[in-house]
Amino acid sequence: MIKPHGADALIPLFVSDAEQHKALTAEAETLPSLLVSSAAAANAVMLGAGYFTPLKGYMNLADSLAVAKDLCTTDGLFWPVPIVNLSKDAQGITAGQRIALRDPNVEGNPVLAIMDVEAVETVSAEQIDFMAENIFGTLDEKHPGVQTFKGQGNTLLSGPIQVLNFSYFQADFPETFRTAVEIRNEIAERGWNKVVAFQTRNPMHRAHEELCRMAMDDLGTDGILIHMLLGQLKPGDIPAHVRDASIRKMVDVYFPKNTVMITGYGFDMLYAGPREAVLHALFRQNCGCTHLIVGRDHAGVGDYYGGFDAQTIFDEKVPAGAMDIEIYRADHTAYSKKLDKVVMMRDAPDHEKEDFVLLSGTKVREMLGAGIAPPPEFSRPEVAKILMDYYQIEDAKA
């Protein structure tokens, strides 16, 4: 199986030994506490689950700036996005302390992890802007990722952590949330060697479904990992439980058995476009995948990124050999009326726009809210039914 990034084996920071877990849980109640941001909590979950191998905790300022600038830590580890614990509320916390990190997303703010604080650094406004502009390609605070990043605070706490739970993800999505360790183990159990990953924060329509098939056929893979984000999204995005139900229905009805793994991971969406695409590739390598589908405007939002910037970054910014996972480059995919099937638009040069079944997100939302199923060329009826039910409930609340 493909090796993890920067290590011979995964390095999950979750404390799995029952006795040690019990002792740390008791110790945590005696330690100074810090209520972390949702972004820092999501980083802890990803570190705990082994997705961020080989990191041992949160990055310091020097590493954060180096990663933002050059996609590389000060000691030479390739990494595309700073993994940080920025805070507004770290008064009284000093280097050398051991502290309990509390979860902002679970009632009662239980302890999420214990941190050995190696450094407490003040980040200047200029340094925050430098990182934000490099990560997101803009400083426009209408960009949801910029807004979140710049709103976390300017005190940076760095150091290793020991993770005690996976926030709300394991409880809310018991059938779907999986650690990188669990995914690797299941890939091995299935006897898969070549695996392509599909990233999604949305329900999957016909184009997405067929894109998965195209990638599997073109690459000759043993299976596909449909890996959905389960964390925080921007307002208006479809919640995870609805996406989960619609994707499971699509796979159950339309894919052969033992060709698809449906899983999810506990992370908040960054909307960082190209940088996030590289992060997606890196932690899919840690899951054991050999390929990642990178499509048009992967991990994008609005008009902040060019349609294929998330593909060209792998040519322009990712050094040869930095990662072992490979990219499957996809074009916009849509149903061709001429050919009576879903195709990549680049593969149909004789087509005009009207030869495709194309619906805007706004139009689809209006149809679903009105109880009108999109055409079957766009969305499977079983998927449309789940989404119609959701939107009609939401519209009734409004």
Which residues belong to the active site?
201-202
Residue 15 and residue 162 in contact, taking contact as beta carbons nearer than 8 Å? yes
Q: Phi, psi at residue 361, to the nearest 5°?
A: -60, -40
Q: Which two tokens stand for residue 226?
A: 């449909």
Bridge partner residues of 33 (DSSP): 100
Residue 317 and residue 71 in contact, taking contact as beta carbons nearer than 8 Å? yes
**Interatomic CA distance for residues 378 and 357, integer angstroms:** 7
Nearest-10 crossing angle of helices 180-190, 274-287: 60
CA dihedral 296, 299, 302, 306 (to 10 degrees): -40
> CA distances (Å), 267 to each of 12, 201, 271, 389, in order?
15, 11, 12, 26
* DSSP character string of 69-98: HHSB-TTS-B-SS----EES--TT--TT-E
**Interatomic CA distance for residues 195 and 183, integer angstroms:** 11
- Give residue 106's identity as a one-letter amino acid code: V
**Interatomic CA distance for residues 345 and 341, integer angstroms:** 12
* Rg, the chain, Cα only: 21
Q: Which H helix or E strand runs over 58?
A: strand 57-58
> CA distances (Å), 210 to each of 103, 145, 254, 277, in order?
39, 30, 10, 21
Beta-strand pair 155-163/119-122? antiparallel
Instruction: State whether residue 121 is helix, strand or coil.
Output: strand
What residues have CB less than 8 Å from 152, skipping those under 6 apart? 37, 39, 40, 86, 87, 88
Tokens 């996972």 appear where? Answer: 325
Tokens 């506990």 appear where? Answer: 266
**Interatomic CA distance for residues 278 and 317, integer angstroms:** 10
Which runs of E-coded beta strand occur in 2-129? 33-35, 57-58, 86-87, 98-102, 111-116, 119-122
